[in-house]
Chain A
Amino acid sequence: MISPDTSVPPRLILLLRELARALLPTLLINLMCALAVTYLLRIGDGFYENLQISMCIGLLAMLLINGARLLIWGDDEPNKLGFAVLLAVLAPLAVLLGRVLATLLLGQPIVSLMPEHSDNIIAVMVLTFLVCFGATVFFWNRQKMATLQAHASEVEKHAVLAQLQTLQAQIEPHMLFNTLATLQSLISTDPLQAELMLNQLVQYLRTTLSASRADSCSLQQEFDLIKAYLGLMSLRMGLRLSYTLQLPSHLGRLRLAPMLLQPLVENAIKHGLEPKVDGGNCTVRAAVHNDMLVLSVLDTGVGLPTSVSLNQPPAQKEPVIGMHFGLDNIRERLSTLYGPLAELIITHNVPAGAMAQITIPLKSLKNAHRSGKAGRSPEL
């Protein structure tokens, strides 16, 4: 990538980059031209001299053509007719200048450039023009292919990310039906409570559904979703579940990808507290340490399974099971969006239960969700 700090004009950098890329193929083409001129056309004073001349002409032609193209069209695709005219002018020019250069390098007298010594000059010019034309078409196609490929892989990456996000945001049917059952039972016995629960369910469903379509949300929104979810769960689990949410007000407006934290809270309930006979507490906390946003989900539930390592991707070919899949998915999104310093760690909580912690550098968080970029995900 071009570092934005350098003062070199971008076109020059483009030129240098393209020259570097074209150098080896150009040298090869020059070699073939020298061979062709010496052994097929049988002109000139011998292979060595012809190679020198060919190198000079070829390199000059490449320099002139690329320079002129970038000067006129920049990084855009050149106009076809204009480019043909450019070739028609520059190819003979390169031949003339290249010959002068080669003559000087070979230490021959300038006299040898006089017309009577240059009876094949037209043939050389036509050859140069044709070779330049062929080479340009070749480079063009190669570049187009590379651009297309880069574009395709970018699109693919977006598609995978969007898919992961949709999967992550899926509402677990078990949770939904249990909540509806509770709601049904409350309608006749405690209509006020039922209304409260219905509101929480609506908020939970609305936020979850919109999160599956958005690129980013504020930390406050993510915490609201978690609050609605934990509210629902505590109505259902009764005294078995207590919870604490800690979001410092100045962090509420920070933007991040949706559905990073929420699945960890669902894990804490589903795998930690629901299976525990006495239930326990779930604490969700946001803080900043050393320019890192630290999001923690702590539970006092049954703890982590002994035999599985949740901090490593599952061994190859191992079936991907529920919790593992969710964690891999979060890790995948963290690294794609925020780079290698962003991580998710699962450890034991003291004295009991589990802790999940997401760490994201504030800088990458801001880079990834600049206000201009906070739009919708690409249409698929």
Chain B
Amino acid sequence: MPVSALIAEDEPLLARALQNTLQHCWPELETPRLAANGLQALEMALESLPDVLFLDIRMPGRNGLEVARELAEQWPDRRPFPLVVFVTAYDEHALEAFERAAVDYLLKPVNEERLGKTVQRLRELLAQRAARSQEQHLEQALAQLRQLVSADSPVPATPPARLEIIRAAVGNRTRLIPVEEVIYFEATDKYVNVVTADGQALIRTSLRELIPQLDPGQFWQIHRGTVVQVRKVEAAVRDEAGKLSLQLHGRPERLAVSRLFAPLFRQM
């Protein structure tokens, strides 16, 4: 059975080298396709739905962890989630996380013998995969990713001060919004949209910078780009396709919960 793969690596010479070495030690593998950055990797993976993914950690657009995480959210149910191998030159922090989450990883420069072992393992996993249900498989991948995600945002040495009041721009005014009035935060391109019962306002920061300043018991991340205040959630609803979304107090719209964060809303 032919196996398909995608290599995401921003350095063209390294991408081609990995492609060559892989073909050498894994003859049944179709020539892996190459993605030059994180965004392209995401796009190509969703389009070609490969069996195996080699993801460089440091890439422009999206880093390797972000690519894996977004794929887990958007992966269609009809195909098994790919086996992911992370590739990194040097990153003590990431290596530790990989070890803990029992994820496959390769170190650059990639050594053929080591790659051979990885290929061996991937083959075994692909063979087992046929025996297991699709759901089990995705759930395992998600569990690993959850572990990685928490390692992806390093905790600063001194936690930043809790945010009490948000100063947001509305036209040429600055609105002061107490955090407890916020229903949810939503990341847009360069801003974060602050949604309250009576309107919306923009703040010039990233969700990544904002999250450490929020009380984790009060505000939950439910999607890559959404953080919701738990008290404002009325119910979590699962549709026919199995997708989870939240009904809110004070807002008509529903918020999608990604697969990664779905376990937060399991019944007690």
Chain A residues at the B interface, C-beta cutoff of 8 Å: 173-174, 176-178, 180-186, 189, 235-238, 240, 274-277, 279, 306-307, 317-319
Contact = CB atoms under 8 A, between A and B. Distances in A.
Nearest to B108: A181
Interface string B15-29: 011001000000000
- Do most interface residues of chain B lie in helix, strand or loop, or is the interface mixed? loop
- Do most interface residues of chain A lie in helix, strand or loop, or is the interface mixed? helix
Nearest to B157: A319
Interface in B89-130: 89-91, 107-110
Interface of B: 10-14, 16-17, 20, 37, 39, 58, 60-61, 89-91, 107-110, 156-158, 190, 204-205, 209
Contacts of A240: 10
Contacts of A180: 108-109
Nearest to A275: B60
A318 B161 CA distance: 11
Nearest to A319: B157
A236 B11 contact: yes
Contacts of A318: 158
Nearest to A193: B13
Contact of A181 (B60, B89, B156, B158): B89
A170 to B, nearest CB: 13
A197 to B, nearest CB: 9
Contacts, number: 71
B109 A274 contact: no
Given A173-B89, A277-B39, A306-B190, 12 more contacts: A177-B108, A180-B108, A181-B17, A183-B109, A185-B13, A189-B17, A236-B13, A238-B13, A274-B58, A307-B209, A319-B156, A319-B157
Contacts of A173: 89-90
B89 A274 contact: no
A236 B108 CA distance: 13
B204 A276 contact: no
Interchain residue pairs A-B with the least CB separation, the first 7: A185-B17, A181-B109, A181-B108, A177-B89, A173-B90, A184-B109, A178-B89
Given A181-B14, A182-B11, A236-B11, A174 B109 contact: no
Contacts of A177: 89-90, 107-109
A79 B10 CA distance: 74
Contacts of A181: 14, 17, 89, 108-110
A56 B107 CA distance: 84
Given A275-B60, A307-B204, A319-B158, A238 B17 contact: no
Contact of A174 (B20, B89, B157): B89
A178 B60 contact: no
A306 B60 CA distance: 18
A306 B90 contact: no
Nearest to A186: B13
7 contacts: A174-B89, A180-B108, A181-B108, A181-B110, A277-B37, A307-B209, A318-B158
B88 to A, nearest CB: 8
Contact of A276 (B60, B108, B157): B60
